[in-house]
Chain A
């Protein structure tokens, strides 16, 4: 009844012609698109218009920025691979310089994707060691950030970066501001050998809290590797400096010549913020030994003993650490005796 007439009317409606009237605006068509909107920013869907940009410099820069900004893991990894290739070519093609690359790519140390991180390590290895050395402090900051990252994989991969850094700039690593004690801090927190936190937990009762839950999830391999890198770090720190060869002009050079190294007066800390004990720089072996002795020796030896008792991979790594420690401290004792 009612509905049928209604339906009829509705059907009719579809084919009705709109009536045009004089003086009225023409009705809009059904498929009319309103184009009067305004937008404040231009969105570019396609980032690169031509895939093979002719200028190699531009291409390098583009890949470099792509390594940071690209959303997909593969794209980032590929961009890093491209940059690595350019760096390892003979002669190396690097239009932005090592410092440019480092400032751009250092945040990738704690990137979420494993493939990107391994590629990043390869890229770093391709950098010339001499040019890396002045940036050690900055790299070390990122390394410390990575070493205390929540993700276990990132921690482990960061250790490889630290290893690389020790290879290319060992002395700078252990002697830059914050490089010695702060890195040891990170190591101890990684291994769960932290005296201050440990006492806070266990002092109350006879039970002991489980060791760090985030760090040891991966099992003994990860811990063994951590101990190994720590051993390496300590070895570098306790390495006896080679005495500088005698040169007759050294005295006069010191007085009248411009120093050849970057930031030669860094130890004076003329322009930075005041440093506390942790972020102080320990430029020579004896001061490092002293700082270690005061702050970390007991904790690390205790942890080491425990690790040794575990045996296996961890035990072996602990033994290496033990050797490094005894070697480093022995010399101290002998020197003190002398």
Chain B
């Protein structure tokens, strides 16, 4: 029905908006008027309820206005308006499909308003809105409800985490996903969870559980929503955090403007505000960042989850998901396998089918395979895959990109499990560094340098390189067996031990020199190894620095052998950390036993840890920085943090390729201002300034000034008498001394 607009003359003398204003100013005096309108609302509601579908637009409009009024002042008359929230909920629940659009929006808005005024609580609001969000066919209503739900959850978690509400909603979402696994309704659960995760409102394991269930759903959309969350949710969260801290104020600029512009209270306030904001930002920066675990780490029972995911969506031949989505799922599964070192043996044999160059997105498969490898995967499971990759991808006949990708994929797998390549195959692959294509050469060299580090025996002698050969001879490079783990320990603990001993000895010597009588008591204290003042970091820092100097000076003067030992030790230490090189092994062994003692027999205080860090730093400075396995560690770290992508596999193939002209041009243009026509940089800058609404310089203005406006002055200047000229020159000098026309100096 066409809506009739109310003309200005028709308006009644008192409208609802002004009444609302009056009521809010003085609720007690206008109680009668509000009661009238409450009755009117009631009557209008009855009219509306009697035929909601066929209500005339007039009635709808009236009802809309009355709902608006009542919602705005409901908190002032709690007794009278007690049934109001229920009315709205009922209306929305029963008639949301047929309600007029504006009225529907008003009802939703009013409910949120009541929530903000604390008339109803979050739980009741969300439990009203959520079922409608899922069931309504209207897109606009859905988006409205979605934003309202998110904002309400944010609001109620803004001051302190509202655990009860979060738990309720998470349970609702969990039930939504698990109750009907085939429906798309789970989409909303994934969307809401993801958004709240991104905003760091939900950071615990429960939302991860919801997403886990979503991943195991039958509906493709829901599954993809869940999988994408695990693959990208944490990155999104970090990005948002970076964005929020991005807008920074240039305090210098604000200050400068304060000196140029007229000094007003408003400007002063603006400056203060900016200062406050900058301070707040700095405080935020220095504050310890909240420790948020990534979603992948919070998953409960990753082995079971990965297995189920694999069996349900990948191994199942009946599954009809698209290839892209299957790849996403595969990425998640392999990511889990790599990260948690899970064992899914059937996963590797499943890969065989897909490892041919003709397979679409084969590089993604290769990356996933590498991702799924870790040092606990049996080499004989991986070997057929490696052989297959070598046969299918790496040959003289295949294209150079294909060969490069194949070799690189083998390298990535071998990086994680070096035992999976047999000797002949490796030697064969390494020979490809004689290829003509640069990409293949680089990939083969990468493989070679990897094996130089991890398993040089497999390489031919001439490819081993100097360091690996020497290492092999000295027995430093040792081949690790399957399942062998690197020994862990506290790096530099022996330094600390040595330092402590020195301290003790020095103190004893001091006491012996000073006073023989008191020795016993003090000794007791020292033997405990615990001094209450030593506990705090700050107190020892000062103490230790002086103590350190004392050690050296004293030992120089009186304790010759001790000094020698100290020196030798400090030179030996880095090697001990690395557990390498020619040092007498018996001494090292004895050292090692003592090390474990310190760590296991005493509790390391914060002061100890600070000292440890200091000692470690000093040792590092002495040491020639040649840690060979550093690169490998970095690579593995990267894998743990971000996972492997298809781009990583394709990378060496890019090396040999020549860029086209267009690409080079695009590369050159990147980060430069756009220019449609040929123009000078100066002109572009000027145009940009003008577009930003900034003014020109005085010089610019003078240059642009109309000639006729200046010609008179120029002529007059010529005709001036000497006296006049002098006068102006003097005035100029005086003016410049007193700070210009504005008298800035005064």
A223 to chain B minimum Cβ distance, whole angstroms, is 14
Residues of chain B contacted by A144 (CB below 8 angstroms): 39-40, 42-43
Q: Say if the beta carbon of B525 comes within 8 Å of chain A.
A: no
Asked if residues B10 and A113 are in contact (CB atoms below 8 Å), the reply is yes
- CA A71 – CA B35 in complex, angstroms? 31
Residues of chain A contacted by B36 (CB below 8 angstroms): 148, 150, 189-190, 212, 214
Asked if residues A189 and B35 are in contact (CB atoms below 8 Å), the reply is yes
Asked if residues A197 and B43 are in contact (CB atoms below 8 Å), the reply is no
Q: Say if the beta carbon of A194 comes within 8 Å of chain B.
A: yes
- Segment 129-146 of A: residues with Cβ below 8 Å from B: 138, 141-142, 144-145
Give 1 or 0 for each of A3-42: 1 = CB within 8 Å of chain B CB.
0000000000000000000000000000000000000000
Asked if residues A197 and B11 are in contact (CB atoms below 8 Å), the reply is no
Asked if residues B62 and A192 are in contact (CB atoms below 8 Å), the reply is no
Asked if residues A200 and B43 are in contact (CB atoms below 8 Å), the reply is no
- CA A194 – CA B1 in complex, angstroms? 38
Q: Say if the beta carbon of B719 comes within 8 Å of chain A.
A: no
Q: Return the contact of B31 from the options A73, A104, A200, A273 (Cβ within 8 A).
A: A200
A91 to chain B minimum Cβ distance, whole angstroms, is 29
Asked if residues A107 and B59 are in contact (CB atoms below 8 Å), the reply is yes
B13 to chain A minimum Cβ distance, whole angstroms, is 7
Residues of chain B contacted by A192 (CB below 8 angstroms): 32
- CA A130 – CA B587 in complex, angstroms? 118
- Segment 100-132 of A: residues with Cβ below 8 Å from B: 104, 107, 110, 112-113
Asked if residues B50 and A189 are in contact (CB atoms below 8 Å), the reply is no
Which chain B residue has the least Cβ–Cβ distance from A273? B49
Q: Say if the beta carbon of A201 comes within 8 Å of chain B.
A: yes
Asked if residues A150 and B35 are in contact (CB atoms below 8 Å), the reply is no
Given contacts A71-B5, A197-B35, A201-B32, contact A112 B10 (CB under 8 A): yes
Q: Say if the beta carbon of A315 comes within 8 Å of chain B.
A: no
- CA A104 – CA B46 in complex, angstroms? 17
Asked if residues B39 and A189 are in contact (CB atoms below 8 Å), the reply is yes
Chain B interface mostly helix, strand, loop or mixed?
Answer: helix
Q: Return the contact of B32 from the options A110, A194, A273 (Cβ within 8 A).
A: A194
A198 to chain B minimum Cβ distance, whole angstroms, is 8
Given contacts A107-B56, A107-B58, contact A150 B50 (CB under 8 A): no
Given contacts A110-B62, A145-B44, A150-B16, contact A189 B56 (CB under 8 A): no
Residues of chain A contacted by B16 (CB below 8 angstroms): 150
Q: Say if the beta carbon of A68 comes within 8 Å of chain B.
A: yes
Tell me how many residues of B have a C-beta within 8 Å of chain A: 36
A226 to chain B minimum Cβ distance, whole angstroms, is 13
- CA A149 – CA B36 in complex, angstroms? 8
- CA A149 – CA B66 in complex, angstroms? 11
- Segment 1-26 of B: residues with Cβ below 8 Å from A: 1-2, 4-7, 10-16, 19
Chain A interface mostly helix, strand, loop or mixed?
Answer: helix
Which size bracket describes the interface of A in this complex?
Answer: 35 or more
Q: Say if the beta carbon of A59 comes within 8 Å of chain B.
A: no
Asked if residues A151 and B39 are in contact (CB atoms below 8 Å), the reply is no
A210 to chain B minimum Cβ distance, whole angstroms, is 8
Asked if residues A71 and B58 are in contact (CB atoms below 8 Å), the reply is no
Q: Say if the beta carbon of B178 comes within 8 Å of chain A.
A: no
- Segment 171-203 of A: residues with Cβ below 8 Å from B: 178, 182, 185-186, 189-190, 192, 194, 196-198, 200-201
Q: Say if the beta carbon of A46 comes within 8 Å of chain B.
A: no
Q: Say if the beta carbon of B28 comes within 8 Å of chain A.
A: yes
Which chain A residue has the least Cβ–Cβ distance from B46? A141
A117 to chain B minimum Cβ distance, whole angstroms, is 12
- CA A190 – CA B40 in complex, angstroms? 11
Asked if residues B7 and A71 are in contact (CB atoms below 8 Å), the reply is yes
Q: Say if the beta carbon of B733 comes within 8 Å of chain A.
A: no
Residues of chain A contacted by B10 (CB below 8 angstroms): 73, 112-113
- CA A192 – CA B1 in complex, angstroms? 37
Q: Say if the beta carbon of B532 comes within 8 Å of chain A.
A: no
Q: Return the contact of A194 from the options B12, B35, B47 (Cβ within 8 A).
A: B35
Known: A2-B707, A144-B39, A150-B16. 8 other contacts (CB 8 A): A69-B2, A73-B10, A112-B11, A112-B12, A150-B19, A151-B13, A200-B28, A200-B31
Q: List, sorted by A's number, 29 A–B pairs whose CB atoms are closer than 8 Å.
A: A68-B4, A69-B2, A73-B10, A104-B56, A107-B59, A112-B6, A113-B10, A138-B47, A141-B46, A141-B47, A141-B50, A144-B40, A148-B43, A150-B12, A150-B14, A150-B19, A153-B12, A154-B12, A186-B39, A189-B39, A192-B32, A194-B32, A194-B35, A197-B31, A197-B32, A201-B28, A209-B29, A212-B33, A213-B32
